[in-house]
Amino acid sequence: MTATATRPAPPTPPARHARRRRFSRQTREMWVLMLPALVPVLLFSVGPLLYGIALAFTDARNTRNHETSFVGLDNLGELLTAEDFWSSFRIGMIWAVSVTGLQFLAALGLALLLNQDLRFRGVARVLAVVPWAMPPVVIGLMWKLVYHPDAGILNSLLGTHINWLADFSLALPAIIVVGVWTGMPQTTVVLLAGLQNVPRELYEAVEVDGAGRWRKFWNITLPQLKPVIVAITSLDFVWNINQFGLVYVLTQGGPGGQTRLPMLFAYEEAFRYRFAGYASMLGLAMAVVVLAALGLYLWRQMREAK
Amino acid sequence: MRMKSALAAAAIVALAAGCGSGGGGDKGGSAAGKPGEPVKLNFLSLAWQKESVAANKQIVDEWNKANPTIQVTYVQGSWDNVNDQLVTQFAGGTAPDVIHNDSPALSGFASDGYLLDLSDKLPAELKSDIPQKSWDTVTFDDGKGKQGVYGVPFLQESQVIIANKKLLDAAGVRIPTPDNPWTWDEFSEAAKKMTKGDKFGVAWPMKSPVNKTLNLALNFGGTFFQTVDGKTTVKVGPEEKQVLQRIHDQLYKDQSADPAALGQGTADPLPAFFNGKFAMLPAGVYLRQQVAEQAPKGFEWVTLPPLKGTTSDQGAVSQTLSVAQDSKHPDEALKFISYFLNPTNQAKLAKGDWLLPTSVKAASDPSMTTKENGWDVATASAKNLVVAPFLKVNGFDEWKSKVATPALQEYFANKISIDDVAKKLVDDGNKVLERYQR
């Protein structure tokens, strides 16, 4: 609105044109002002997105002497019949659901604790946010050291010699722990903010009625937090299912594909085996699945809220 | 007025942004330079051991001093992600001119058309200094049915056995020599003799089992792939099963192999090796470097020659230097490669990486045949190297990581039987290979 404020007064136009002209000029100004923000979005976000979607319906390969042609839904057919994809999809779902669930439970506990009147509460709150400040690659490297079979702190604490990240049955739980740890800060902070918004009067009111701690939590805290919980768990779910960097550093999808999340799978297809079209279809399919799951979840929550 | 100038400004912004994204395509166009300016080459090196990085940089410096018109920039890469990096760079047109890689990776890049066929361009002295069987490791189909040479092979790796001398002597077994190596049976016997209490005869680090077992399988003539009428399929018969079964037996029947090492990478069991927890470590020749450097004082070790099945043949892969198809200066790049890989420099590089040079002249260098640190045994083992059959298989990389690695890991962890692993390698494997033969 600053642009209109500094504008010199326009010559007064004929009265009957005034309304339409002002409207169209406002629209034009809005577009002009939005353009600097829109151009990068269109160029670097929408453009590649559309290009990726288009690729999904071709047999594009990352090679120099391959003629790309339109193949319709061939990639989708191949995807749906590929065992690799389904096992990767299953792993992705186990990962996303368990990380999101555990993250929520742990973060809720931590948020409740940090909401209490503790000594050193400020310090504790800062410490709880520390993992947030680390890039996923650094977290991956750090936890790789924790899990190291010989020099790792975990094995020396437990007195064992387990190669956590190379064991077929332990690798996925091991990275889930890392995933929970990584995502806890933002979940905690959001829940803490939600907790601080719960009106005190409500607690006072039920205290008069003689409610205990558990009843207060169940009947006041949880219902009051519900919108925040819905928002943060759905965001967490999307973040987690699209997780790439952390797992790429920790296990590269090994051992034997036991931790090959869908995005790692797509990356491998595109950049190792060079099936760009197939990988694009994979990305597209995952996006559709996530949107569908999320849509269903949010729709149910909304309906309950009504 | 204001409105118009705002529109103009926005148009300029849009134009600039458009140019920014479109301009990426012809990056490097300016590298052609004006006459009189030196030609600039990028050299992607994957050297990682300290001595080897130093040797690489030193040779580049010497070249740059001697050739002011062709200036080479050393670019550090890493084996961990070089192929991902190259796929992206090739697709984006920003690949380095001279590329260090290994022969298994070249096959794919060659058939995708990203690498320059060097067969008509190689200078005679370089060509004759490297034996034909090494050139065979870099000769591939160009994706259209024509064979070409897509790199210059310069370092090779063979599998030897590094042994704790004290435990070896104490067991009273015959010490093998390059002329009279151990057979696999003798090796199993020796490992059993060295297994006492909580000490094991041998350790097999099998985190990445595929190349190791495939290269050793040639001892019994196991090729794992066969090509009939131009169609390549996986084959796991009695020959292929020999080495698999023998390693498995050491782990679970003889119990002469340390189970703790199984999930580890090649260098990971070294601390346990120095502690005498096991006596022998089958490994590539390059591991001698870490042994020599990290061994505690007074620790004596020897290098034992490769084992013998029906033959001592081992699959060979080589490290290579290639030229990108899209390089603006292929001739200059090849001149640099010829200099970089002359016999003197190859000996230097081989010493730096503790690997075997392909150059015949470099292999006869005194530093390559000294008894010290097992160089004599290592260099002698080069005669057993033959072209690994899997090198020419299109789709081998996917077969390896999707099918073979998990199947072999499960087999060596005793989770599935030898027949299960054979079935997986063949059935799942053929499905993978089919994608590449359409």
Q: What is the pLDDT of residue A127?
A: 86
- For B50-82, b/e burial (b = at least 16 CB within 10 A) is ebbbebbeebbeebbeebeebbbebeebeeeeb
- Any chain A CB within 8 A of the CB of B429? no
Does B87 reach chain A within 8 Å, measured CB to CB? yes
Q: Is the pLDDT of residue B185 over 50?
A: yes
Is the separation of the CB atoms in A246 and A179 below 8 Å?
Answer: yes
User: For chain A, what percent of residues have pLDDT higher than 90?
Assistant: 33
Contact check, Cβ <8 Å, B18/A65: no
Q: Is the pLDDT of residue B101 over 80?
A: yes
- Cβ of A256 within 8 Å of Cβ of B113? The answer is no
CB-CB under 8 Å, A256 with B17: no
Q: Which residues of A touch B3 (CB under 8 A)?
A: 25, 28-29, 32
Here the tokens at position A129 are 């946010």
> Is the Cβ pair A40, B207 closer than 8 Å?
no
Q: Chain A within 8 Å of B413 (Cβ-Cβ)?
A: yes
Encode pLDDT of A170-212 as tens digits: 999 999 999 999 989 999 999 999 999 889 888 888 888 888 8
Q: What pLDDT, on a 0 to 100 scale, did the predictor assign at position A17?
A: 52
Alpha-carbon separation of residue A130 from A153, A184, A189, A224, B145 (angstroms): 20, 10, 11, 27, 57
Give the other-Cβ count within 10 Å of B325's Cβ. Answer: 19
**Closest Cβ–Cβ partner in B112, B268, B407 for A65:** B112
Amino acid at site B422: A
Which range, of A5-14, A229-238, A266-275, averages the lowest pLDDT? A5-14
Contact A257 B406 (CB under 8 A): yes
Share above pLDDT 70 across residues of chain B, in percent, rounded to a whole number:
92
Tokens of A298: 């949010």
- CA of B112 to nearest chain A CA: how many angstroms apart? 5
pLDDT at A22: 59
Q: Which residue of B has its CA nearest to A278?
A: B435
3-state SS, chain A, equals CHHHHHCCCCCCCCHHHHHHHHHHHHHHHHHHHHHHHHHHHHHHHHHHHHHHHHHCCECCCCCCCCCCCECCCHHHHHHHHCHHHHHHHHHHHHHHHHHHHHHHHHHHHHHHHHHCCCCCHHHHHHHHHHHHHCCHHHHHHHHHHHCCCCCCHHHHHHCCCCCHHHCCCCHHHHHHHHHHHHHHHHHHHHHHHHHHCCCHHHHHHHHHCCCCHHHHHHHHHHHHHHHHHHHHHHHHHHHHHCCCHHHHHHCCCCCCCCCCCHHHHHHHHHHCCCCHHHHHHHHHHHHHHHHHHHHHHHHHHHHHHC
B268 inside 8 A of chain A by CB:
yes
Q: Which residue of B has its CA nearest to A165?
A: B263
Q: Sorting pLDDT into bands at 50, 70 and 90, what band is B144?
A: confident
Q: Three-state SS across chain B?
A: CHHHHHHHHHHHHHHHHHHHHHHHHHCCHHHHCCCCCCEEEEEEECCCCHHHHHHHHHHHHHHHHHCCCEEEEEEECCCCCHHHHHHHHHHHCCCCCEEEEEHHHHHHHHHCCCECCCCCCCCHHHHHHCCHHHHHCCEEECCCCCEEECCEEEEECCEEEEEEHHHHHHHCCCCCCCCCCCEHHHHHHHHHHHCECCEEEECCCCCCHHHHHHHHHHHHCCCCEEEECCEEEECCCHHHHHHHHHHHHHHHCCCCECHHHCCCCCCCCHHHHHCCCEEEEEEECCHHHHHHHHCCCCCCEEEECCCECCCCCEEECEEEEEEECCCCCHHHHHHHHHHHCCHHHHHHHHHHHCCEECCHHHHCCHHHHCCHHHHHHHHHHHHHEEECHHHHCCCHHHHHHHHHHHHHHHHHCCCCCHHHHHHHHHHHHHHHHHHCCC
Distance CA B317, CA A28 (A): 65
Is the CB of A64 less than 8 angstroms away from the CB of B271? no
B208 near A CB under 8 A:
no
Q: Search chain A and give the residue with CA nearest B398.
A: A273
Residue A271 is nearest to which of B87, B395, B406, comparing CB atoms? B87
- For residue B354, which phi and psi values (nearest 5 degrees)? 60, 40
Report the pLDDT averaged over residues A216-227: 89
Does pLDDT of B5 surpass 90?
A: no
Q: Do B84 and A272 touch (CB under 8 A)?
A: yes
**B360-383 pLDDT per residue, tens:** 888 888 888 888 889 999 999 988
- Say if the ipTM goes beyond 0.85: no
Cα(B385)–Cα(B355) distance, integer angstroms? 13
> Are residues B347 and B276 in contact, defined by beta-carbon separation less than 8 angstroms?
no
**Residues of chain B positioned with their CB less than 8 A from the CB of A169:** none
Comparing B22 with B298, the larger pLDDT belongs to: B298
Residue B368: what residue type? M
| Interchain contact A268–B (C-beta under 8 A) | yes
Q: Which of B398, B403, B427, B435 to mutate to test the interface with A (most CBs of A within 10 A)?
A: B398
Residue A69 in tokens: 């042609």
B196-239 per-position pLDDT tens digit: 988 999 999 998 899 999 999 999 999 999 988 878 899 999 99
Q: Are residues B376 and B177 in contact, defined by beta-carbon separation less than 8 angstroms? A: no
- Smallest CA–CA distance, residue A296 to chain B, in Å, is 34
B277 touches chain A (CB under 8 A): no
How many C-beta neighbours within 10 Å does residue B117 have?
Answer: 18
Contact B17 A43 (CB under 8 A): yes
Among chain B residues, the shortest Cα distance to A167 is held by B263
For chain A, list the domains and their CATH numbers: 84-305 (1.10.3720.10)
Output the pLDDT for position A3: 43
Among B91, B397, B413, beta carbon nearest to A272 = B397
- Subunit contact B90:A62, Cβ cutoff 8 A: yes
Q: Decide if B47 contacts B353 (C-beta within 8 A).
A: yes
Decide if pLDDT at B347 tops 70: yes
Tens-place pLDDT, residues B378-404: 999 988 899 888 888 888 888 998 899
> Which residue is listed with tokens 């000490």?
B199
| pLDDT of residue B92 exceeding 60 | yes
Best mutation target among A41, A64, A137, A165 (most B Cβ atoms within 10 Å) is: A64
- Chain B residues touching residue A65 (CB < 8 angstroms): 112-113, 143-144
Model pLDDT, residue A131: 84
Shortest Cα–Cα distance, A1 to chain B (Å): 14
Chain B residue with minimum CA distance to A162: B260
Tokens linked to A246: 């952390």
Q: Which chain A residues touch B91 with a CB distance below 8 Å? A: 62
Find, in chain A, the residue whose alpha carbon is nearest to that of B116.
A64
**Angle B364-B366-B368 from CA coordinates, rounded to 5°:** 70
> Is B319 within 8 Å of B101 (Cβ atoms)?
yes
The token pair that represents A220 in the structure block: 């006041």
Contact present, B203 and B278 (Cβ < 8 Å)? yes
| Nearest residue in A to B7, CA atom | A32
Q: Which domains does chain B have, with CATH numbers?
A: 38-156+317-363 (3.40.190.10), 159-315+390-435 (3.40.190.10)
B88 Cβ partners below 8 Å, 6+ apart?
A271
Token pair listed for B27: 């990056």
Phi, psi of B249 (to 5 degrees): -60, -40
Least Cα distance to B101 among B349, B317, B280 occurs for B317
Q: Kindly state the average pLDDT of the residues B348-363.
A: 90
pLDDT of amino acid B1: 43
pLDDT tens digits, one per residue of A16-53: 554 555 568 888 888 888 888 899 999 999 999 999 99
**How many whole angstroms separate alpha carbon B418 and alpha carbon B403?**
15
Instruction: Determine the distance in angstroms separating the CA of A163 from the nearest CA of chain B, rounded to an integer.
Output: 7
CB-CB: which of B21, B83, B325 is closest to A272? B83
pLDDT reading at B29 higher than 60: no
Is A219 touching B (CB cutoff 8 A)?
no
User: Which of the four pLDDT bands, split at 50, 70 and 90, describes residue B58?
Assistant: very high
